[in-house]
Amino acid sequence: MSSAEKTTTNATLSPEPAAAPATRWYAASVFPGKEHVAERHLRIQGFEPFVPRCEKTVRHARRLETRSAAYFPGYMFIALDLGLQRWRSVNGTFGVRSLVTQGDRPLPVPSGLVERFIASTGEDGLLDFSGGLAAGASVRILSGPLAETIGRLDRLDPAGRARVLVAIMNGEIPVDLDARDLVAIA
């Protein structure tokens, strides 16, 4: 057997590493309130953007208004394969400031994080963290007149209604809310 045949035989016997999916999620900084514009223009270019959204209560002119808002204002996630896609064009997209980078390369988001957000998104497109709620747990109220208030979950019924005990005026006041308006905190 010649040396060329030995080299060919050795090369065919050594297994090649399995190709892992190269698509990862990356964070992009966007202009304030322009998440929907950036999302639309990225989709037109063939990218897969994801903006986690929640309901947010806004006070304006003595009125309370609840509307859909970005869970991370000023940021969104984009699925990219840096080897195949022209990722630098993301920085020139309307509504996008730039990809979050380390040096001259985009910095990937920790594996599984965006996937968990996608799994926690309801049919209405809003994040729904009510799956982890249990009686006695500390919770943060996300919307309504008591938005951003911390309380203790007293009870949760199968219909999605929750009773939260909120510490107000030297006592705990029971407040009935929709379970979607709560998130468990550690």
pLDDT digits (tens, 9 = 90+) for 95-128: 999 999 999 999 999 998 899 889 888 888 887 7
Q: How far is the C-alpha of 146 from the C-alpha of 183, rounded, in Å?
A: 13
The β-bridge partners of 48 are: 79
Q: How far apart are the first and last CA of the chain?
A: 68
175 Cβ contact list (under 8 Å, min separation 6)? 141, 146, 151, 163, 164, 165, 166
Cα–Cα distance for residue pair 125/65, rounded to 1 Å: 18
What is the tens place of the pLDDT at every residue in 18-29? 434 689 999 999
DSSP assignment, residue 21?
P
Cβ(24)–Cβ(79) below 8 Å:
yes
Structure tokens at 91: 């920085």
Residue-wise pLDDT tens digits, 122-162: 888 887 766 677 888 888 888 888 888 899 999 888 767 88
Please give the model's pTM, rounded to 2 decimal places: 0.64
